[in-house]
Amino acid sequence: MDKQLLSRTAAAMVARGKGILAADESSGTCETRFKTVRADCTEQNRRAYRGLLFGTPGVEQFLSGVILFDETIRQKSDDGTPFPQYLAKKGIIPGIKVDKGVVDIPLSPGEKITEGLDGLSKRLEEYFQMGARFAKWRAVITIGEAIPTHTCLYANAHALARYAAACQAASIVPMIEPEVLLNGSHTIERCEEVTEACLRATYAALAAHNVSFEHLILKTSMVVSGKECPRQAGVDEVAERTVRALKRTVPAAQPGVVFLSGGQSDVAATAHLNAMAAMKNLPWPLTFSYSRALQNPALAAWRGQPGNVGAAQSAFHHRAQMNGLAAQGKWKPELEKQAA
């Protein structure tokens, strides 16, 4: 465990005005998204699409890191450079998704547990040699009738803690992602309650597994109204409730917190981040680790056509820039209108 390397990596991941691109979609998820723009989901197309994102001129001003999928970390840019080295040359830290996806929890209907702990230490050793300096593990928490249960919260917290400990032993910064899903008709009050319970369970498990909070990044969902809830909370309420839940549960020793977009619209994710980052006396920096909220305009512009790379990169650069401003509390809605 190289604590100096872990400290440098964690600090760089949450550098002011920068965030993390989540480009770790599985081949199945890529296929679903590519279908929306009628692009073929071949390995070559996936490589080309990720390459256009990574190669966007100037995007390193707004990106501190990129989360890669196992396929992508083994691929190369157009000039033959392995993607991890290509990103590192631009000053962007390569990361890697290491979980194996979710399965049903036995005897807990409607709830999921994330797999991938078997063989994890060996895989982390390989990924470190390939250039990865941080990793990500996603847990899924669903809000519904009588769920989440204690079983679900603590099973996922335990898995996150075991993963985090293995990462730190390998000198890789663990990014823990306990995602409270947006799906459902629950109120924002219920979302805040579940988010707080989820984070409490997670940090208790991390402490029990001797995980160092100084070398850990939290990737969390925002406290929002369920997608089907009749009352959709406004930006200020989302910011207030999210930060309150974090302050009640996340140690001040942690280097920073990044947010997932979780199905929010591009601009909504930016507006929510901006409202939180603008708050005073935060114990840690807040920034983004978005997938769709960064990529959607680029994917729509690209559509699998080589001739559209320039337009796609322009769209991607804009979203990265907007979120870079939001991470500093400097974003304004009129900046979106100016770009349009």
149: phi then psi, degrees, rounded to nearest 5 = -90, 165
137: phi then psi, degrees, rounded to nearest 5 = -135, 125
> Tokens 């707080």 map to which residue?
196
DSSP states along 202-257: HHHHHHHTT--GGG-EEEE------TT-SS---HHHHHHHHHHHHHHHS-TTS-EE
Is 219 assigned a catalytic role? yes
CB 322, CB 331: distance < 8 Å: yes
CB 238, CB 188: distance < 8 Å: yes
Choice among 18, 97, 112, 219 that is catalytic = 219
Q: What percent of the residues of the chain are helix, what percent strand, and what percent coil, each to the nearest 5?
A: 50, 15, 35
Tokens of 100: 């194996």
Is 112 assigned a catalytic role? no
Choice among 25, 177, 192, 196 that is catalytic = 177
Q: Which residues are known catalytic residues?
A: 177, 219
